[in-house]
Chains A and B, each alone.
Chain A
């Protein structure tokens, strides 16, 4: 029977399966960080269990680590306890840890692929919803909660019901690929299918516009699958995928043999059927900016803040949600997006903190200055990204323009480390969630691509980055 890529990976990991019932699925890679793991390790101790496969478990610290000078002690004592706890847990249970001093430290979803831990055809879990990022490599990767983290530590398996395959066809050629980025594609998709459009599904992104993307751009797309409610998002691997992973720290020794096997099997059969399908043409999309408080409340930079009744199209609940969002965001309907002035700029997060993101943003910045009223920061996704950027002197471009150049971590994406917005501050952010208070209590987040964030930093307000010279 013809199968989708997701079904092939699922079937090859089933330990026990019942038709239309719960399955037990084997997990190939378990990524661990300091915030969602402490309780899981504690329960293992209480129940005198060990970690079943420490060799398939890898840890780093990213969520609460400060992104300031790493030679200084951590000021926040509760954060320090969480960091020390992870160190102790990894030592006690024999798990490899890339700690705050490691050259491999970074956001877990940035270092996985960089280290060759992420591989096609594997199942990958992590106590973090953005685990969907790894699907860019043709892996089945999804976020889990702390109870499930404990279950995977103890058994290397997970119990779940099989999600449904959802096809998203991305067609057309972007007119200006430097200005219209992967971030704009995924924001457009979520804008159309909504924050629960993918619930209960695994999305497969397909089509020429996906093939055209680099691996890092595909990661940006798969990363935000969870913002559409999907369990996971994935892309069938191709030569770009295989080339990206060749020769990395943990790339298997028999890599070329594996590649030949993957080439033979890892694709959706031509007449396989999906439970759901959606097509988007990207040949005419504009840079996207979020105006509201969820990642579906997005419009073109050329548009104005929508009127709630227009946005709602007759749906009373949607109208109320839009009114409330505008109130929180302190925006007036009808205001041109390009007239919205901002206070902060954040380039970083597991969505957009990779080397290509920094290269693209630096092209906008080069030789210019951050608007005097704005505080702007660049937070590379990992120490490896930071080092690579410094070798290319990108740090100099950012610093010369008055951007802060910081150490790697989740930083201002989630408001749990020292990098936060003050109440009322408005931020152009390359992160993934514009929820109320996400970047700090009372903070106002506008989701954009790295080039849009960079352009806004210079002008002091949103601008259509297509109007700027990006070469």
Chain B
């Protein structure tokens, strides 16, 4: 999986900035996507490209249980969020609906990856290659449950 990084050098990116509450009334996923990250980056919709990754700090997705948050990112084209850590409800929502991969990275990767870097993620080897900087980082492997749900393509496709 290859894509470019959109980096937010910030901890605690909450669900209210990922998708502000006023849009929770919308049911059309493409409409939701138009407002993704609006609370922190009003230009996000115009710059995001299909296959991009978000890179951020600690506790990404804290706050509300709204599944609209990973849906809006996913329908914007985001395939994975690489963060130092995730809030648990966002993390589960991301994999349950097979919207995007929540990938935990270390400080080395977080500090080293710059906005626009081209990254290649390999979830079998648990590595992230920075093709722009010619570096390689480790990602934290998924737990057993999460790995199985991801492999199945979502909670409802997962048969233990």
Contacts and interface: CB of A to CB of B under 8 A. Distances in A.
Interface of A: 21-22, 35-36, 38-39, 43, 47, 63-64, 76, 78-79, 81-82, 127-129, 143-148, 150-151, 159-161, 195-196, 199-200, 226, 229, 231, 294, 317, 320-321, 324, 414-416, 420, 433, 435-438, 440-441
A433 B88 contact: no
19 contacts: A21-B144, A22-B143, A36-B67, A38-B27, A78-B26, A81-B25, A128-B64, A145-B65, A145-B97, A147-B96, A196-B12, A199-B87, A226-B89, A294-B62, A320-B9, A416-B22, A435-B39, A437-B39, A440-B22
A321 B65 contact: no
Contacts of A231: 88
Given A147-B154, A438-B21, A129 B39 contact: no
Interface residues of B, number: 41
B58 A196 contact: yes
A47 B63 CA distance: 30
A276 to B, nearest CB: 15
Given A145-B89, A148-B96, A199-B88, A129 B25 contact: no
A414 B17 contact: no
A433 B64 CA distance: 10
B131 interface: no
Nearest to A297: B12
Residue from B16, B21, B57, B59 with most neighbouring chain A CB atoms (10 Å) = B21
B88 A78 contact: no
A433 B17 CA distance: 12
Contact of A161 (B24, B89, B145, B154): B145
B39 A199 contact: no
Q: What 9 A-B pairs have minimum CB-CB distances, sorted nearest first?
A: A22-B145, A145-B93, A147-B96, A416-B21, A146-B67, A145-B67, A143-B65, A196-B59, A435-B16
Interface in B77-94: 85, 87-89, 92-93
Interface string B52-83: 00000111001111110000000000000000
B57 A436 contact: no
Nearest to A22: B145
Given A229-B59, A415-B20, A36 B88 contact: no
B48 interface: no
Interface of B: 9-12, 14, 16-17, 20-22, 24-27, 39-40, 57-59, 62-67, 85, 87-89, 92-93, 96-97, 143-145, 148, 154-156, 160
Nearest to B144: A21
Nearest to B17: A436
Given A195-B12, A435-B17, 17 more contacts: A21-B144, A35-B25, A39-B27, A128-B64, A129-B63, A129-B89, A147-B155, A148-B92, A195-B59, A195-B62, A196-B85, A199-B88, A229-B87, A231-B88, A317-B9, A416-B24, A438-B16
B100 to A, nearest CB: 13
B69 to A, nearest CB: 9
Contacts of A43: 156
A200 B86 CA distance: 10
A199 B156 contact: no
Contacts of A47: 156
A195 B24 CA distance: 23
A147 B89 contact: no
Contacts of A82: 25
A416 B64 CA distance: 13
Nearest to A196: B59
A321 B59 CA distance: 13
A437 B57 CA distance: 20
B25 A435 contact: no
A438 B63 CA distance: 10
B14 A415 contact: no
A63 B36 CA distance: 20
B17 A229 contact: no
A354 to B, nearest CB: 21
A294 B12 contact: yes
Contacts of B97: 145-147
B40 A436 contact: yes
A414 B156 CA distance: 30
A435 to B, nearest CB: 4
Given A38-B27, A147-B154, A196-B87, A294 B65 contact: no
Residue from A39, A43, A145, A420 with most neighbouring chain B CB atoms (10 Å) = A145
B75 to A, nearest CB: 13
Nearest to A128: B65
A297 B93 CA distance: 27
A195 to B, nearest CB: 5
A435 B93 contact: no
Contacts of B154: 147
Contacts of B27: 38-39
A316 to B, nearest CB: 10
B10 A127 contact: no
B39 A436 contact: yes
Nearest to A43: B156
Nearest to B16: A435
Nearest to A414: B21
Given A144-B89, A147-B93, A150-B156, A437 B25 contact: no
